[in-house]
Structure 1
Amino acid sequence: MHGPASPGWLLVALCAATGAYCVLRMRSGVEEQRRAAGGDALMGFGMAAMAVPAAVFTPPSWTWPLYAAVFGAAALRAVWAVRRSPHHLHHLVGTLAMVYMAVVMAVSPGSGHHAHGGGAGVPLVTGVLLLYFTGYVLLTGVRLVPDAVADGAAGLGWGDRPELARACRLSMGIGMVAMLLTL
């Protein structure tokens, strides 16, 4: 993504740490939580890789179609999962947003600062995704205030705690807003 290097590195660190925590969440005894954690880990690591500042490392041109293919496959998996649980709808939107960003970066000339037509304003898809993820961040932030007793989390392992999974998704939502703003 494009933008100043320091915030870019902070975004890389946030997304990589979130991805690492999600890998640990995959050890849960609950199959549904393992699946969700796997999708979250993919998003976290993918966002970390995409967020590396362009001033430090410019990925080869084949990287963006590869990202689009990986997240396109994840989107197909999320479509299938939505049939079982509406929670996966957020995973579907996230994976499609990653595909969108990869495609925009693939077709952007040179630095990609004018990938949408050179100052014509925010494209519709980017605007819709920004609205969605901003709303998601605000809603998740409100729901994050933990009440371990009310959630029944007192007897759960740290990897199965719902407020930690929400915090993980909240940090990725914040990261997605930051990435979309720099697109």
Structure 2
Amino acid sequence: MHGSATVGWLLTALCAFVACVCLLRARGAGGMRRRTATSEALMGLGMAAMALPGSASAVLPPLVLLVLFGVVAVRELALLLEARRAPLSSGPGHGRAEHVHHLHHLVGALAMIYMALAMPGTHGAAPGNHTAAAASGLPLLTGALLIYYAVYVLRTGALLLPAPAGGALAAGAPGDACAARERPELATACRVAMGTGMLAMLLML
């Protein structure tokens, strides 16, 4: 990634922290929430690796990142197809939520593959040769991803706003005692942080 080393280290720290939080969420969750939290942890770890600045990124060359995110993309595609085959396994709302989450993670994995392809050294250029490695991606695709993640961050971040008293009671409707114990606002905050990290990485592309 281009950009200052300070920004790179901050992004790495943020993504690594979010990944650790998601791993803890996965450990204390079950079913759909466990799979979703695991997917978010994998994405966070991958984003932390890609955000490593300068010489530190030489530890994980672009081709390694391509393989890593390729595996994540295949996993998310498999989970997405599984969610589509059994949408009512945990109730209609849960099935649709799982489908949306895995679709979002699949888009994220493909976006990371795209950014890894645009990184210096992916096409055989020397790491310091920014002229040969100046293929910073396709402006149209980069712009589309920026819009997608900007909308995602704004829409997901809105869920963190305090709800009216009546809305809070409605949200805690049937069978959400387990969801309350799992701190849904923590999961939302993790998604906002990861979406913001993706925006920053795309801007640094």
TM range, smaller chain? 0.7 to 0.9
**TM-score, normalising length from structure 2?**
0.76
Q: Which residue of 2 aligns with 1:141?
A: 157
Q: Which residue of 2 aligns with 1:107?
A: 123
Partner letter of residue 57 of structure 1? A
Could you tell me whether the CA contact under 8 Å between 1:27 and 1:159 is conserved in 2? Answer: no
Q: Which residue of 2 aligns with 1:91?
A: 105
Q: Which residue of 2 aligns with 1:31?
A: 31
Cα deviation, 1:7-56, whole Å, max 9, x if unaligned, reads: 222111111110000010111342111111111011111111111111x5
- How do 1:58-69 and structure 2 match up within 5 A? 58-59=57-58, 63-69=61-67
Shift of 1:112: 7.0
Structure 2: gaps spanning 5 or more residues: 84-98
- State the SS of the aligned residue for 1:2: coil
The structure with more radius of gyration = 2
| Count of paired positions | 179
Shift of 1:63: 2.1
Q: Which residue of 2 aligns with 1:161?
A: 183
- State the SS of the aligned residue for 1:3: coil
Moved more, 140-149 or 95-104: 140-149
RMSD of the alignment, in Å?
Answer: 2.6
Q: Which residue of 2 aligns with 1:78?
A: 76
Distance 1:164 1:108, change over 3 A: farther
Shift of 1:127: 1.5
Structure 1: gaps spanning 5 or more residues: none
Distance 1:15 1:158, change over 3 A: farther
Quick one: distance in 2 between partners of 1:168 and 1:34?
A: 14
Distance 1:168 1:162, change over 3 A: same
Could you tell me whether the CA contact under 8 Å between 1:5 and 1:53 is conserved in 2? Answer: yes
> Where does structure 1 differ by over 3 angstroms across 4 or more consecutive aligned residues?
108-118, 146-151, 153-159
Could you tell me whether the CA contact under 8 Å between 1:3 and 1:182 is conserved in 2? Answer: yes
**TM-score, normalising length from structure 1?**
0.84
